Amino acid sequence: FAEHEEIQMSTGFHDSRRKRSDNMSVRSLHIQLIDIAPPIARSGYNLESLHYQLIVLPLPIARHGYNSEGFILTHVPLSMNMNSVESVQTVWEAFKATCRGWCISYNSAKHRERSQRKNELMLELKNLEMQHMRDPNDQKLKTMVLLTRTELQSIIHEETSTALYKLKRKHFETGDKAGRMLALRLKQIESNSSITAIDDQNGSLVCEFNPDTIDDFLRSASLPQLKEDDRTYLDKHVQELEVKAAIKALAAGKTPGQDGFSVDFYKCFQEVLSPFLTLLYRDIIATQSMPQSMNMAVISLLPKPGKDHTKMENFRPLSLLNNDYKIFAKTLAMRLEKVISSLIHLDQVGFIAGRYSAHNMRRLFHVMSEAASLQHPAVAISLDAEKAFDRIEWSNLFHILTKYGFGPVCIQWIKALYHNPVACVKTNGLISPPFHLFRSTRQGCPASPVIFTLTLEPLACAIRENQSITGIKLLNYDFKANLYADDILLTLSRPALSVPHLLKLISDFGVFSGYKINWLKSEAIALNRLTHSFGHLSSTPIVWKTDGMRYLGVNITSPIDNIFELNGPKLLKTVKDDLNRWTNLPLSLMGRAEVLKMNVLPRLASLFTAIPLEVPQRWFREINTLFSLFLWKGKKPRISLKKLSIHRKKGGLGIPDIHTYYLAYNGIYPLSWAYEKEQAAMAKRLILMNWKVKKPNCFDIVNWQKDFLELVSMEQAASVLQDLGSDHTDSLSQIMSLLKENQIDEDIS
């Protein structure tokens, strides 16, 4: 912190304010620090970071306290090490091991220097003050007293910052702002994570790799092929710019892995570390192996609330990976994300950029509406995969990647991710001996979601192409599957024929992939009156539900007229209970506004995007009442909710107008089915004319098209008359009056 100390020594010495009292001098120095060095004085940039290792420091502190040129390059002559050691991986292992020691040593030395300097200054100040008392007219002596006192106050200021940090100062500074601190305050206190006892269960799974079995299955599923340009792009060498982009993309402030090096460390020194990381990653891909410390994961066990915590299945594992591994995987994931949409069907919306669960939910309701009018039985089946991400067989993964047409370099990259991975379990603060992993995608790995969708797509392809499994035909397309990652919902007609073939297909896929369905949680509902029960299919393991089922957080049933009644009141009660629980929190009015925006609005928006049905006006009035009670702690409102909903730039607090959000979501999503290129413009026009979805034909795209074409014809007529000029002023006035009645004059002005 030499630069920081120099700044503190140089600020305020020539300021007239330093001639005031001691207390004023402290405040004066604090103001000067804010003026001169905003990165230090900004919230969260704590000077007490000297007491902690650099590798776990917040990024701004590390940048200020440890200059990359003055610290990393001084201690880490990587180029010299590369001349004496052949393996890049060995150099990286040595660097991480020694860098921790340098950081700890640096912090300890600075702490000792500061303590020693503080004692010296206190003694020196005492002597100077005694001399000044004997000769108060000595200006030189007076200046020395002020300089010494200012330097001492800067050290005391650092110690005070540490004390404030320990007193949870950030609860006061950031508690009312949308962010992690406020979110944690809203969460309910979870149960103790200590594990005192566990049941021992013995079991094993043997699965040998048989490529012929995979090929036999894939013959029934025509996998899409990777384009040659995409294949070439994926096989390129790792570039330094990609490594920097991956470092930038990782979220800061997360708990580091076992090596202790946080994301902030890599962000701080990325200019120095990125070139070497690029060489390291290229070496890992070429050798298909990585340093031992790099692929180590620490697994923490979180108890599931309300469960028996002596059972292993009632704990949720949380895996912490080292950040050099995450950067390596993120670089791969960023490449795969650019090509994944060409390989994964639109039925799959999980982990694909530009695809959302609301797309599948609205399509599902559209299909269910059509199924209600069919003259033969139809069912919806929700499949629950048992530990889907943990059952991925790597041999199956690598073989499927070749069938997609992935190049050798990209496959080597993925193989390196799963080369001898090691994990250990942290229980009650104790770390278990490390053990090897032999399957699954790694939790916390940025590439895992994309890799999982690639391994599941063959099953989805086989279902779509199996002629014995019939779906709901609509607009010349046979709708069978809706997928969100491992959550699969199937809409099938003629279940007596379709379901047995479906069960066999899933069984065949599970033989080589490790995929397994939890039949106790897999449910089915009837989609029309002709489907009374499974009848002779009652022997199937699927659970038959008569009162509807839940998919992606939404309760669904057929007919769909009562979908909102199944979900809206329940959500309203949950929001009401939460707001009542948060009412007594010590939050300001602005803090309460942030709670509504960051916690309540997303939940309501999720319902609006998933269920395109008309919502009663009384429901919105109840929401507004709850908002008002929460904002004013149950007292009489001092400012109306309408005024508080105004944007902050115009004097309001930006409280969400739920009805406006409802209109917006009901306009943009259905239009995307038929008007993808112009959906935003047309949604705006429909919203401006206060268009409402009406039951029971709300899913008929013809109704949307009719309303829109009528609106467009009016706009075109107005445009033509406008071009003709003043001769048609009367007609133009009539058209404009009609447009104003429909509240669309703003859109064509």
Range with the lowest mean pLDDT among 295-309, 363-377, 707-721?
707-721
**Vertex 339 angle, CA 331 and 297, to 5°:** 35
pLDDT of 373 higher than 70: yes
pLDDT mean over 396-421:
93
**How many whole angstroms separate alpha carbon 293 and alpha carbon 437?**
15
Neighbours of 461 (CB within 10 A): 20
Is pTM beyond 0.95? Reply is: no
**Contact 161/47 with Cβ under 8 angstroms?**
yes
**How many whole angstroms separate alpha carbon 563 and alpha carbon 549?**
11
Please give the full DSSP string across 219-244, using - where no structure is assigned.
TTS------HHHHHHHTSPP-HHHHH
Indicate the helix (H) or strand (E) that contains 547: none
- The predicted-structure confidence for 580-613, as pLDDT tens digits, reads as follows 999 888 888 998 999 999 999 999 988 888 887 7
- The predicted-structure confidence for 297-317, as pLDDT tens digits, reads as follows 999 888 887 788 788 778 888
Q: What percentage of the chain has pLDDT greater than the value 90?
A: 25
Range with the lowest mean pLDDT among 39-53, 136-150, 226-240?
39-53
pLDDT of 436 higher than 80: yes
Band of residue 58 on the pLDDT scale cut at 50, 70, 90: very low
Q: What is the pLDDT of residue 98?
A: 80
| Tokens describing residue 644 | 């508080």
Q: What is the pLDDT of residue 195?
A: 53
Going by C-beta distance under 8 Å and a sequence separation of 6 or more, which residues neighbour residue 400?
Answer: 214, 218, 223, 454, 455, 458
Strand pairing of 422-427 and 378-383?
Answer: unpaired
**How many whole angstroms separate alpha carbon 464 and alpha carbon 478?**
8
Q: Partners of 556 in the beta sheet?
A: 549
**How many whole angstroms separate alpha carbon 259 and alpha carbon 256?**
7
The one-letter amino acid code at 470 reads T
Phi (first) and psi of residue 711, to 5 degrees: -65, -45
Band of residue 706 on the pLDDT scale cut at 50, 70, 90: low
pLDDT of 237 higher than 90: yes
pLDDT of 191 higher than 50: no
If one compares 411 and 427, the residue with the highest pLDDT of the two is 411
Band of residue 235 on the pLDDT scale cut at 50, 70, 90: very high
Q: What is the pLDDT of residue 733?
A: 54
pLDDT mean over 188-192:
47
Torsion angle of alpha carbons 305, 308, 310, 311, nearest 10°?
Answer: -90
**Contact 424/299 with Cβ under 8 angstroms?**
yes
- The predicted-structure confidence for 536-582, as pLDDT tens digits, reads as follows 456 678 888 888 899 988 999 888 888 888 999 999 999 999 999 99
Band of residue 110 on the pLDDT scale cut at 50, 70, 90: confident
Going by C-beta distance under 8 Å and a sequence separation of 6 or more, which residues neighbour residue 126?
Answer: none
DSSP structural state of residue 424: E
Q: How many CA atoms lie within 13 A of 219 on its CB side?
A: 5
Q: What is the pLDDT of residue 614?
A: 78
Q: What is the pLDDT of residue 11?
A: 34
pLDDT of 729 higher than 50: no
Cis-peptide into 434, omega within 30 deg:
no
pLDDT of 89 higher than 90: no
Indicate the helix (H) or strand (E) that contains 598: none
| Tokens describing residue 685 | 């026009």
Nearest to 44 by CA among 59, 27, 34: 59
Q: What is the pLDDT of residue 46?
A: 32
- The predicted-structure confidence for 501-512, as pLDDT tens digits, reads as follows 999 999 999 988
**How many whole angstroms separate alpha carbon 309 and alpha carbon 427?**
13
Q: What is the pLDDT of residue 285?
A: 95
Band of residue 283 on the pLDDT scale cut at 50, 70, 90: very high
pLDDT of 144 higher than 50: yes
Range with the lowest mean pLDDT among 145-159, 212-226, 422-436, 666-680?
666-680
Band of residue 174 on the pLDDT scale cut at 50, 70, 90: low
Range with the lowest mean pLDDT among 226-240, 394-408, 649-663?
649-663
Band of residue 707 on the pLDDT scale cut at 50, 70, 90: low
Q: What is the pLDDT of residue 372?
A: 84
Phi (first) and psi of residue 634, to 5 degrees: 80, 0
Cis-peptide into 559, omega within 30 deg:
yes
Range with the lowest mean pLDDT among 94-98, 225-229, 352-356, 553-557?
94-98
Q: What is the pLDDT of residue 116?
A: 87
Q: Partners of 297 in the beta sheet?
A: 321, 423
If one compares 483 and 199, the residue with the highest pLDDT of the two is 483
- The predicted-structure confidence for 649-664, as pLDDT tens digits, reads as follows 888 888 988 888 887 7
Q: What is the pLDDT of residue 745?
A: 40
Indicate the helix (H) or strand (E) that contains 321: strand 315-321
If one compares 120 and 306, the residue with the highest pLDDT of the two is 120
Domain ranges of the chain: 2-182, 213-555, 561-656, 661-748
If one compares 94 and 68, the residue with the highest pLDDT of the two is 94
Q: What is the pLDDT of residue 166?
A: 58
